[in-house]
Structure 1
Amino acid sequence: MFAHWLRSKKNPIAPSQNTIVEPTASTPLFSTIQENVDYVRQTLGNSTDIIIREFTYNSITEGLAILYTDGLVDATVVNDFVMRSLMADSTEIDPEQDPFDVLTMHTLTIGEIQKVSDMKGMLHHILSGDSVILMNGYTKGLAAGTKGWKDRGVTETNVETVVRGPREAFSESIRTNTALIRRKIKDPNLWMETFQVGQVTQTDVVLMYVKGIALDSLILEARNRLTQIYIDGIFESSNIEELIQDEVITPFPTVYNTERPDVVATELIHGKIAILVDGTPFVLIAPALFETFLKSSEDYYHRVDISTLVRILRYAGFLIALLAPSFYVAITTFHQEMLPTQLLISLAAQREGIPFPAFIEALLMEITFEVLREAALRMPRSIGSALSFVGTLVIGQAAVEAGIVSAAMVIVVSITAISSFVFPSYDLSNAIRILRFPLMALAASFGFFGILAGLLGLVLHLNSLQSFGVPYLSPFAPLELNQQKDALFRFPFQSIFSRVRTLNARNVVKKANRKPFNP
């Protein structure tokens, strides 16, 4: 085997004569239409969805050709605003004029037109839904914006549901998504930068920020991380999220994702940046702090007292979902003296005849619930509800009656499961699902001392995390008293007059005092 490898290194296989050299930005177009058409057909493997139409235009005897991808263009736009404009125009062209300038300024009635001078650019436009116009005798062409593939449009959000607030959600079209944000922020300082990420997929990725509010260092860092991505394909924003996050080995998300335009608009005016990926309705927001995942857009659409109460309930749910099974295991195993006598007698009577210790009992129930939850998510919707009913009632009741688990353990696991659904972010719920099991093991081994050691390690880990250079636990650590008005509690808008200083040090005032009413 080693000898074969050595021979292959000494005598590398020669490339086939039919191998197509990958075009670069420096590979110019050919001067004849036929050569360009042959190159496109050969490069794309004579794909049947590539439409090539040759025709003549007015006094240009050399001829024109239009190339586009069927299914990616709007056929009406191609026929009415490109083909009809070219074939019905009678503008005389001065031999000293550039015919492409004449087409751009006098003939084509389409808004988006770009010049193309290299093979890579031509192929990119063709495969992105644009129509490329070529002319004999010229090593350049025109790309007309004729994108028009089908999408599901703007629909109601399915993940981040609200009682009061906008119902619209992002779609898989990146241009639709940018328009939804532009509709909410009409400031000319809302800037966008577009990148093509993925060596094979060439996926459009948009970096969006408000100039003058977002820090230049944050924008530069985001731009550098996007341009340094080297991967074959990007199919979802989670691919970008994994490649640009600060820390990979952590259960906690350090980049926030949402499908709501109002959430993105709110975070942009707070000094953050947004990353939109073509083909997915989920937009990334950075920096993402721990308190961000416990906030909801609906907090700002309800009264202050209700929003504060709900936010406190989320923090309480976080502690219950993380620690409830561990506390039950620790108390029933090591610290029975902490329970009232009547409750202790009741728990002892329930556990009589249970063949497993409390830790194994909790582990079995937690694993069973996780399996049922994943099965309900993957099954068709019509069957998923029935599966949830069977899992919660039939299996739970049967396990108690069979003496495998106690009724108290079923109650604890149920409360834990309900508490894990109160978070607006599904990513934070996943982090708690992971951390729950090692905390249960520590509780079974060392009781409350093990839980305390686990919590200390968890706090130290959270303190070590950063999101694009911003401390993950900000504004709790480091403590910023001025920012507590919109952290654990939600103060009235009249009291929240500054942005987070760790995100923006130049433009910290975000609202003026309310003007007095003059009747």
Structure 2
Amino acid sequence: MVGRFFQRKPNNSSRETSNDEQAIQYQQQKKEMLLPSFEDNISKVKKTLGNSADLIIRVLHIGPENSVTIGVLYTDGMVNTTALQDLLDSLINKLKPNDINSPDRTSIVTAIQKNAVTVGEVEEVKDLDKLITNVLSGHAALLIKDEPQAITVSIPGHEKRGVEEPQSATLIKGPRDGFTETLGTNTSLLRRRIRSSNFWLESKEIGEVTKTRVMIAYIKGIANENVVREVHERLDKINIDAILETSYVEELIQDEGYTPFPTIFSTERPDAVAGKLLEGRVAILVDGSPFVIVVPSLMVEFFQASEDYYQRADVATLLRFLRFFCFFIALLAPSIYIAVLTHHQEMLPTTLLISIAAQREGIPFPAFVEALIMEITFEILREAGVRMPRAVGQAMSIVGALVLGQSAVQAGIVSNAMVIVVSITAIANFCFPAINLATSVRIVRFGMMCLAAVFGIFGIMFGIILLCIHLCTLRSFGVPYTTPAAPFILQDQKDVIFRMPLWSMFSRPRLISQNNNIREQINPPSKPERGTRKQ
């Protein structure tokens, strides 16, 4: 769906510069400015919006002898009704007669801004397109008779979901709040954790039709300025009708599009984003999406969970070892089973080989076809479980797997050993904290199974070599994807496979933050002297 209505701007720098200048001049000429005629401005707004039923227009006569006429425009359901009533009361009661009767007519606009408008963010608008955009974004617009400009007041009040625990990244120990679809709520969740004047937020508007607000968040002095500049440049090059979710932005700004592995990290957890901002990364928040993307991203991040930093270092290290082990199981278990049964039966102990041969007696398919049938069946069950209603989906996937597996064994289509291999592979695939990495492993697993069926163990080794080469060629905003393993950085090994104690991780990732690599050093906990006892 996306490919039908987006275009990327050309990469030719000189031609791109001239085209951008021409586009800016054209947009400036294209802007339709507001007129002094009060009635003409209102009729233009109505005509542009097609006399939309949710556009509310109220005309107020204020001042002595009702000498000033003001039109209030807003979208029904998009503004806070209480704040709107306060705004209307202020317009009627707080405007001074001296300001209204002043010979300088521009003082009316100034008086309204300073005295009458006491709520929301105030902006002076002079063109019709900006006026309509603000009205559709939850602003109330004030059109003043005989004035070629308008005042918009931000009083959004649309319905929104409350802060809840994210379903895609649950924890046993840790904070329970998660991002929502409201951009202001998401920025406040980050502000609660990073109360620093160096925490900067910069806003952009992307999408010719949707005009979606996109926020860039980073910590000044810690984040790499080159990365911040690169983020701005890539976002500015997006030429698309609609941005409906963070994935749109992720797909349009990533370094490499032809890879199964995610090169941009996304999460619903504010604590995870705050931790990455403190390492020198840049976060991108999209209005209407509960997921926040963080760049640059490394492959090791997809094995790390927020809970690793809320437990003891030894427990977190053990869990990371388990995740890496599950990665190899999910990637290679069916391939090794196929390779051994097809090409290398001598590698199995005699007792085990006889047991597997007895199970496979009467199976009409080779091991590769047998594994392919089971993998495809499990993928169908997984997808059906996701699309079904939540109360039914989980039960259907579990019961479906048990019934189909047992029935397939009794019918002589697959063996018991193959059911065990596919089951442990599927379980290991759920151990990754990032669901997009689990999807990547599922894709690569089918390729490894084909190599194992044709070339055996040598095919698996060849596939691993190709996979390592591919991973080493990937970049995420200029940073090697396999950092700190390749290139190997010794000081960054404290938070890869091992999770060292917090007091020992006094340096930030070297290739991520190049401005301020040293954190505030924490002294290790002191041990009490032997023989002393707390009274």
Fold-level similarity (TM above 0.5): yes
What fraction of aligned residue pairs are identical, expressed as a percent? 48
Cα distance change, pair 445–130 in 1 and its aligned pair in 2 (3 A): same
Number of the residue aligned with 2:67: 61
C-alpha separation in 2, matches of 1:514 and 1:114 = 49
What CA RMSD, in Å, does the superposition of the two structures yield over aligned residues? 1.6
C-alpha separation in 1, matches of 2:489 and 2:62 = 68
Q: Which moved more, 1:55-64 or 1:407-416?
A: 55-64
How does 1:356-505 map onto structure 2 within 5 Å? Answer: 356-505=365-514
Asked if the contact 2:216–2:283 (Cα under 8 Å) also holds between the matched residues in 1, the reply is yes
C-alpha separation in 1, matches of 2:279 and 2:29 = 40
C-alpha separation in 2, matches of 1:323 and 1:153 = 42
C-alpha offsets along residues 269-310 of structure 1, whole Å, 9 cap, x if unaligned? 100000000111000011111001000000000001110000
How does 1:205-224 map onto structure 2 within 5 Å? Answer: 205-224=214-233
Asked if the contact 1:25–1:121 (Cα under 8 Å) also holds between the matched residues in 2, the reply is no
Number of the residue aligned with 1:8: none
Q: Which moved more, 1:57-66 or 1:32-41?
A: 57-66
* 3-state secondary structure, aligned to 1:193: strand
Which of 275, 288, 305 does residue 314 from structure 2 map onto?
305
C-alpha separation in 2, matches of 1:90 and 1:330 = 84
TM-superposed CA distance for 1:381, in Å, is: 1.2
C-alpha offsets along residues 474-512 of structure 1, whole Å, 9 cap, x if unaligned? 000000011001011000011101011101122000122
C-alpha separation in 2, matches of 1:89 and 1:246 = 55
C-alpha separation in 2, matches of 1:276 and 1:451 = 40
Please tell me the residue identity of whatever aligns with 1:338: M
Which of 195, 204, 213 does residue 204 from structure 1 map onto?
213
Structure 1 stretches of 4+ moved >3 Å? 21-26, 515-519
Count of aligned positions:
498
Number of the residue aligned with 1:88: 93
TM-superposed CA distance for 1:22, in Å, is: 9.4
C-alpha separation in 2, matches of 1:63 and 1:29 = 16
Number of the residue aligned with 2:76: 70
How does 1:249-398 map onto structure 2 within 5 Å? Answer: 249-398=258-407
Cα distance change, pair 436–175 in 1 and its aligned pair in 2 (3 A): same
Please tell me the residue identity of whatever aligns with 2:79: V
Number of the residue aligned with 2:150: 141
| TM-score normalised by structure 2 residue count | 0.91
TM-superposed CA distance for 1:23, in Å, is: 9.2
C-alpha separation in 2, matches of 1:503 and 1:390 = 46
Q: Which moved more, 1:112-121 or 1:94-103?
A: 94-103
Which of 14, 21, 27 does residue 32 from structure 2 map onto?
27
Please tell me the residue identity of whatever aligns with 1:35: D
TM-superposed CA distance for 1:104, in Å, is: 1.2
C-alpha separation in 1, matches of 2:195 and 2:70 = 41
Please tell me the residue identity of whatever aligns with 2:47: Q
Number of the residue aligned with 1:45: 50
Asked if the contact 2:503–2:524 (Cα under 8 Å) also holds between the matched residues in 1, the reply is no
Asked if the contact 1:133–1:141 (Cα under 8 Å) also holds between the matched residues in 2, the reply is yes
Cα distance change, pair 516–353 in 1 and its aligned pair in 2 (3 A): closer
* 3-state secondary structure, aligned to 1:192: strand
Asked if the contact 2:95–2:115 (Cα under 8 Å) also holds between the matched residues in 1, the reply is no
C-alpha separation in 2, matches of 1:511 and 1:302 = 21
How does 1:89-104 map onto structure 2 within 5 Å? Answer: 89-92=94-97, 93=99, 94-96=102-104, 98-104=107-113
Asked if the contact 1:197–1:229 (Cα under 8 Å) also holds between the matched residues in 2, the reply is yes
C-alpha offsets along residues 160-209 of structure 1, whole Å, 9 cap, x if unaligned? 00000000010100000000000100011111111111110001100110
Please tell me the residue identity of whatever aligns with 1:401: Q
Number of the residue aligned with 2:11: none
Q: Which moved more, 1:103-112 or 1:317-326?
A: 103-112
Aligned pair 1:129/2:138, yes or no?
A: yes
C-alpha separation in 2, matches of 1:343 and 1:111 = 74
Aligned pair 1:79/2:93, yes or no?
A: no
How does 1:8-23 map onto structure 2 within 5 Å? Answer: none
C-alpha separation in 1, matches of 2:238 and 2:250 = 11
Please tell me the residue identity of whatever aligns with 1:149: H
Asked if the contact 1:462–1:473 (Cα under 8 Å) also holds between the matched residues in 2, the reply is yes
Could you tell me which runs of 5 or more consecutive residues in structure 2 were left unpaired when the two chains were aligned. 1-25, 529-533
C-alpha separation in 2, matches of 1:23 and 1:358 = 67
C-alpha separation in 2, matches of 1:56 and 1:114 = 22
TM-superposed CA distance for 1:111, in Å, is: 3.5
Please tell me the residue identity of whatever aligns with 2:39: Q
C-alpha separation in 1, matches of 2:95 and 2:479 = 61
C-alpha separation in 1, matches of 2:32 and 2:496 = 54
TM-superposed CA distance for 1:26, in Å, is: 3.8
C-alpha separation in 1, matches of 2:190 and 2:472 = 33
Which of 238, 241, 246 does residue 255 from structure 2 map onto?
246
TM-superposed CA distance for 1:514, in Å, is: 2.4
Asked if the contact 1:24–1:120 (Cα under 8 Å) also holds between the matched residues in 2, the reply is no
TM-superposed CA distance for 1:385, in Å, is: 2.2
Please tell me the residue identity of whatever aligns with 2:74: Y
C-alpha separation in 1, matches of 2:79 and 2:217 = 26
Please tell me the residue identity of whatever aligns with 1:83: L
Number of the residue aligned with 1:18: none
Number of the residue aligned with 2:41: 36
Asked if the contact 2:179–2:268 (Cα under 8 Å) also holds between the matched residues in 1, the reply is yes
Number of the residue aligned with 1:7: none
Number of the residue aligned with 1:17: none
Cα distance change, pair 285–25 in 1 and its aligned pair in 2 (3 A): farther
| TM-score normalised by structure 1 residue count | 0.94
Please tell me the residue identity of whatever aligns with 2:504: S
C-alpha separation in 1, matches of 2:95 and 2:167 = 53
C-alpha separation in 2, matches of 1:75 and 1:497 = 50
Asked if the contact 1:23–1:119 (Cα under 8 Å) also holds between the matched residues in 2, the reply is no
* 3-state secondary structure, aligned to 2:200: strand
C-alpha separation in 2, matches of 1:419 and 1:257 = 21
